[in-house]
């Protein structure tokens, strides 16, 4: 079942329905990407890549990833070490 529908204007423009804008987290000035996957066209907010996506793209097959808890703990340790007194 479709999430929403839009009508194409004579100039090739569409309005993005409010439900879709809310789901994508987009507003005025946002850029949308159109991608073809198999026989479907997928629309997504441009630049919606996590640091994990970027890391996997740059370092395919890299070792085990650290979860958010590990990263927060490492940051906490770094801050304590950097600001430790004497």
Which residue's structure tokens are 């990407």?
A: 33
CA 63 to each of CA 59, 60, 66, 82: distance values in angstroms, whole numbers, following the listed order: 9, 9, 9, 27
Torsion, CA 82, CA 76, CA 51, CA 20, rounded to 10: -130
DSSP state of 37: E
pLDDT band of residue 14 (cuts 50, 70, 90) is very high
pLDDT band of residue 18 (cuts 50, 70, 90) is very high
Contact 3, 16 (CB under 8 A): no
- The whole-number average pLDDT for the span 62-85 is 76
pLDDT of residue 66: 61
pLDDT of residue 73: 83
């Amino acid at each position: 079942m479709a999430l929403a529908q839009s009508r194409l204007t004579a100039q090739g423009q569409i309005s993005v329905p409010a439900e879709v804008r809310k789901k994508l987290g987009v507003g005025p000035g946002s850029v949308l990407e159109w991608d073809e996957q198999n026989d479907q066209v997928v629309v997504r907010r441009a630049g919606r890549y996590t640091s994990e996506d970027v890391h996997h793209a740059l370092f395919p097959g890299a070792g085990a990833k650290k979860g958010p808890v590990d990263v927060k703990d490492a940051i906490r340790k770094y801050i304590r070490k950097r600001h430790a007194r004497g």
